């Protein structure tokens, strides 16, 4: 299925919240951003005017959204808590360590928080 320029621009912006934020506040050079996106999306200077038009339409839509990225982050941080603990280390290893409960598993390794007060 062939996607049109507006859909490709939206998919590009969807993965870049900082670009959506500058479009929402309309503090952006549309021509310069269109040139950059045209090269990244299409690989050449093709459809630059269509990309600029899509950016301008998206900016109008985003400006109608009440909450900004900063407001949403602030809301999350207000309902969060942070605990600072000393003598704690995070160990990333390729294999699971004995008697240590892993926090997460990934291709890069296993992440485990370790307290230096606890005997291993």
pLDDT in tens, 51-107: 999 999 999 998 887 677 778 788 888 888 777 777 777 777 777 777 777 777 777
Paired tokens of 97? 């360590």
Closest CA to 53 of 67, 37, 70: 37
Q: Going edge to edge, which strands form the sheet with 104-106?
A: 88-93, 109-115, 104-106
Paired tokens of 95? 């294999």
pLDDT band at 10 (very low <50, low <70, confident <90, very high): very high
Q: Is 54 helix (H, G, I), strand (E, B) or coil?
A: helix
> Which stretches within the chain are classed as H helix?
5-14, 17-25, 30-42, 48-63, 69-78
Which one-letter DSSP state was computed for residue 4? P
Write down the pLDDT at residue 104. Answer: 72
**Integer Cα distance of 36 and 90 in angstroms:** 39
**Integer Cα distance of 103 and 77 in angstroms:** 22
């Amino acid at each position: 299925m062939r996607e049109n320029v507006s859909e490709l621009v939206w998919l590009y912006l969807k993965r870049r919240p900082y670009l959506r934020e500058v479009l929402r506040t309309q503090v952006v050079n549309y021509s310069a951003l269109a040139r950059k996106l045209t090269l990244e999306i299409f690989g050449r200077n093709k459809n630059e005017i269509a990309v600029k038009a899509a950016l301008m339409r998206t900016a109008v839509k985003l400006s109608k959204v009440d909450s900004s990225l900063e407001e949403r982050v602030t809301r999350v941080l207000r309902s969060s808590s942070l605990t600072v603990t000393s003598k704690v280390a995070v160990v990333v290893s390729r294999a699971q360590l004995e008697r240590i409960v892993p926090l997460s598993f990934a291709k890069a390794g296993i992440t485990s928080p370790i307290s230096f007060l606890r005997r291993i």
